Structure 1
């Protein structure tokens, strides 16, 4: 039996689909009252539970051979420290402890590229970087670093676990509309009025899900693997969107410095209007960070590969249209 936390999320539901297609029996942990539209029509065993409530995990984990821990909060917003710590750190601690208690054979943990200490510009970002919460950017990154350290603690106690660090995830089956999904939707609706300087590494959600499965089958105990895709500038990303959607990309460009200042006002305005901001100071900082990421280790040891970002964007736009989101 395979158990998946965070199964209703973007990565989680794609992972469920892949495992079911392989004929695996899948049990998913569902928050009471959680929207499960992303799992409709999929043959899974649903168990109510919450990673923040350790006793609720026992029923889900008993009899499980593999646990994929994908549950977590991804946030570019300021002021989320408490919630991030509760879910990404304490929730992961609870998952690790329950895996040890119920003698799960392997834990596959989805961390983040942001959990690793960023190297200086021009130096390749790989698995040699340390997990140091004092040397990462923003509260989200810190929470993922601390969560990863909980998994490493479990490994030292005898837990067989592998750690995966994906870069920026993009792709179809984005039911909750992720940060990148929102950019695509807003672009096609004509809401993106400017291009910001910067670049990032994006990876298809389907390739990340495949990478998790490969890590489960081939990954070495205690090892970390980066699952990245392709580095692309914001300008090129918007040009691809223009080509795929037919919507004209904005010609107006903002420097990162100006965009960062605008980000503070954008957060304030969106909080007043009770809407999700497209960008924040943290997201602008990310675009200025080192995104020269290498997934060579995953390629060599797991047989991991990733598709082109153009294909990912095209499939995402097609899926949003199919679902009548755009």
Structure 2
């Protein structure tokens, strides 16, 4: 039996689609507030409606939160392999406590149950946000050391803390692999993550910014996860990135795929900083704050993440980001036109 956490998210839903096409027994947990219909919708992007329903019905769904140990314990019954995709993503300073509870304490619960149930292998989905920054240059590998003295977002700290819990599990007998995807491109969740880029560009997004970071297609992420779980590789960490690109390039590729005008105005630091100041003032009156001083400056970062390790271990080949964007844009347009 395979257990998947975070099955109602971008990575989890695509992973479940792949797993459901095998003969393996699959169980996925979800919270009462989660939208299971969104998962079936993702399935329908890649097959007929009837086949999507048939594949979706193969999944055994259990109501359980990763912070609810009793419910989680029941979900672990007869499980041999675990894909831990569940995580809270937020860059609002007000969510600092929630991030630690969900991403660190929640992962600790998963690890503890993996130990208690003698799970054969755990795959933990982390993020490039948890990777350390080099002392010199801007190239980041799995060997780059995390520096606690640097400024890190609460999200990055929580994902790094979650990884520490996984490494603890490996010391207590659990075989595990950690994957660190960059910005994940894929369809189905248009109000969050990269999906929001498609929505914004389709409506006429005007600004671009120079930040360079890692991008990867969701199909490549779930393929790498499954290959690692099926291999004899254990207690290793892998950056998953297809290409390091500027957001200007990615936004332009998205606009081209959606047949929209590409963003033409360069975002300046003073413009973003002014927006941060306005949000800071607004937060006093209860408006949700989405930018922090650190995130303002991060919009102008230039980091290059290496995918050499996963290529060496698995001879893995990534899809070009342009192709991932084009496929996602096609699905988005079919959703708009439906």
User: Are the structure 2 counterparts of residues 264 and 164 from structure 1 closer, same or farther at C-alpha, using a change threshold of 3 Å?
Assistant: farther
Q: 1: distance between equivalents of 2:239 and 2:232?
A: 12
Q: Does 1:316 align with 2:328?
A: yes
Q: 2: distance between equivalents of 1:166 and 1:85?
A: 20
User: Are the structure 2 counterparts of residues 312 and 269 from structure 1 closer, same or farther at C-alpha, using a change threshold of 3 Å?
Assistant: farther
The offset of 1:257, in angstroms, is 4.7
Which residue, out of 143, 146, 155, partners 1:128?
A: 143
Q: Does 1:30 align with 2:63?
A: no
* Farther-moved stretch of structure 1 (252-261 vs 159-168): 252-261
Contact preservation (8 Å) 2:123, 2:229: yes
User: Are the structure 2 counterparts of residues 246 and 282 from structure 1 closer, same or farther at C-alpha, using a change threshold of 3 Å?
Assistant: farther
Q: 2: distance between equivalents of 1:323 and 1:67?
A: 32
Equivalences for residues 247-326 of structure 1 within 5 A:
247-266=260-279, 281-324=293-336
Q: 1: distance between equivalents of 2:147 and 2:266?
A: 35
Unaligned segments of structure 2, at least 5 residues? 41-52
The CA RMSD over aligned residues, in Å, is 2.5
Residue 21 of structure 2: aligned partner = 21
The offset of 1:122, in angstroms, is 3.1
Residue 219 of structure 2: aligned partner = 206
The offset of 1:284, in angstroms, is 4.1
Contact preservation (8 Å) 2:29, 2:63: yes
Which residue, out of 212, 217, 229, partners 2:230?
A: 217
Q: Secondary structure at the match of 2:93?
A: coil
The offset of 1:224, in angstroms, is 0.7
Q: 2: distance between equivalents of 1:94 and 1:134?
A: 28
Residue 189 of structure 2: aligned partner = 175
Q: Does 1:44 align with 2:59?
A: yes
Q: Does 1:56 align with 2:71?
A: yes
The offset of 1:152, in angstroms, is 0.7
- The alignment covers a number of residue pairs equal to 323
- Provide the TM-score with structure 1 as the length reference: 0.90
User: Are the structure 2 counterparts of residues 283 and 15 from structure 1 closer, same or farther at C-alpha, using a change threshold of 3 Å?
Assistant: farther
Q: Secondary structure at the match of 1:197?
A: coil
* Farther-moved stretch of structure 1 (192-201 vs 179-188): 192-201
Q: 1: distance between equivalents of 2:193 and 2:295?
A: 10
Q: Does 1:66 align with 2:84?
A: no
User: Are the structure 2 counterparts of residues 122 and 132 from structure 1 closer, same or farther at C-alpha, using a change threshold of 3 Å?
Assistant: closer
Q: 2: distance between equivalents of 1:170 and 1:263?
A: 27
Q: Secondary structure at the match of 1:320?
A: helix
Contact preservation (8 Å) 1:260, 1:280: no
* Farther-moved stretch of structure 1 (1-10 vs 244-253): 244-253
The offset of 1:123, in angstroms, is 3.9
Unaligned segments of structure 1, at least 5 residues? none
- Provide the TM-score with structure 2 as the length reference: 0.87
The offset of 1:282, in angstroms, is 4.7
Residue 49 of structure 2: aligned partner = none
User: Are the structure 2 counterparts of residues 320 and 263 from structure 1 closer, same or farther at C-alpha, using a change threshold of 3 Å?
Assistant: farther
The offset of 1:93, in angstroms, is 0.3
Which residue, out of 115, 120, 134, partners 2:130?
A: 115
Contact preservation (8 Å) 2:198, 2:332: no
Q: 2: distance between equivalents of 1:123 and 1:197?
A: 15
Residue 2 of structure 2: aligned partner = 2
